Amino acid sequence: MTEPAQMPEAASAPASAPPPVHAPTPAPSRIDDEAAVDLLEELVSAPSLSGEETLAVTLLVLRMRELGFDAHVDAAGNAVGVIGTGSPHMILLGHIDTVSGVVPVRREAGRLYGRGSVDAKGPLVAFVVASARAAAAGRLGGRVTVIGCVEEEVASSRGAHQAATLPAPDACIIGEPSRWDRITLGYKGYLRARLSRVIDAGHGAHDRASAAAQACRLGVHLEARAAEFDAGRTSVWERLLVHVSRVSAGSDGLQDRAELDLVLRLPAELPPDAAQAWLTEHAAGWTVACEGGLSAWDGPRTTSLHRALSRAIASQGGRARFVRKTGTADLNVVAPAWGCPALAYGPGDASLDHTPDEHIEIAEFLAGVAVLEHLLANPAWAAPAD
């Protein structure tokens, strides 16, 4: 368990349940750039390791209510805020949990440092601020639901699975860092697995491979088999990627045991069940225990949502670029369930995800807010498909 970050005085409320849902919701209020960055810093300062998000969720619900949202905590522990009425309906879904590791929260040289500043509280707060601004200006066409999901960084994806049970919106944007002028069309799938093997113990002087050595060789073997699978595939998006995350070994004096944890990053043609069969075939003699998986998801760039977001980026002096990513996100959960136009967008440099140097450029964060506000104030994103 990581040491909790110091909460700012403004966020020192106890981590209890937020005020009841029927508490009066104030009229939407304008939040300026300085207050927007303050809100991001406050949320980044609230520790929210996967499975331990209560404090941050409570804080976000309270702040959304102050900005005019009808906000509550749902059955999975997600922070949910609704602003505006009627249709069309947009869902802006980000995640509030983080991986472990304390990155001291500070502002320095135009940057905000802290765990989650990029992945993915930056995009999530951008959703909140942009929605509140559009509503306060009376320019919000329809209704926006902002969801801060829990447990995105672990295999459960608990928050996204809960959100996926909601009625389908007219469009959805997932909050993940892609830089303020990029639009993410899709993500690879994944399969997490633990491979284990037990062999009789023996003297190290004998001509035999220890369980630990066998685990290391298995990792190399799987990488080689993946390279065979990838033959002729020039794009990383199309390839099967093998990432060994842990190798461990031990002995009780009679038997030696080895374990190898890995993540397979899956192309669209290889769903998790097929990936498990592939793994079992190429890890003969090992026990394969799969711990979760999701299929890849890829969307078109030609929907009204994609066009409207491209115009919003242009309104801030940028030119939209489209990317596909080799990771996996909540987009893989909700987009297939809802079947609506969907994409991922958010300010921040994804190469800083999970690093000890995690930070977001404040100017980029504010550019992302401006892009989203422009989008939400122009409901052309909900125009019928061509």
Rounded CA-CA distance 163/52 in Å is 18
Q: Which of 41, 53, 151, 152 is catalytic?
A: 152
Please tell me what DSSP assigns to residue 380: G
- Residue 241's SS3 state is strand
SS (H, E, C) 45-81: HCCCECCCCHHHHHHHHHHHHHCCCEEEECCCCCEEE
Helix, strand and coil percent figures for the chain, each rounded to 5:
35, 25, 40
Rounded CA-CA distance 130/367 in Å is 11
CA distances from 356 to 101, 175, 296, 298 (A): 7, 21, 28, 30
Lookup: tokens for 131: 């929605």
Is the preceding peptide bond at 341 cis, omega within 30 degrees of 0? no
115, 43 contact by CB (below 8 A): no
Mark whether 9 is an active-site residue: no
The CB density around residue 133, as the number of other CB atoms within 10 Å, is 24
- Residue 313's SS3 state is helix
81, 70 contact by CB (below 8 A): yes
Please tell me what DSSP assigns to residue 33: H
The CB density around residue 327, as the number of other CB atoms within 10 Å, is 15
Rounded CA-CA distance 323/177 in Å is 12
81, 71 contact by CB (below 8 A): yes
Rounded CA-CA distance 121/40 in Å is 7
Mark whether 152 is an active-site residue: yes
Q: Where are the alpha helices (DSSP H) in the chain?
A: 33-45, 54-66, 121-136, 158-163, 211-229, 272-282, 304-315, 331-338, 362-376
136, 69 contact by CB (below 8 A): no
Q: Which of 41, 42, 53, 97 is catalytic?
A: 97
The number of residues in the chain equals 386
- Residues annotated as catalytic are 97, 152
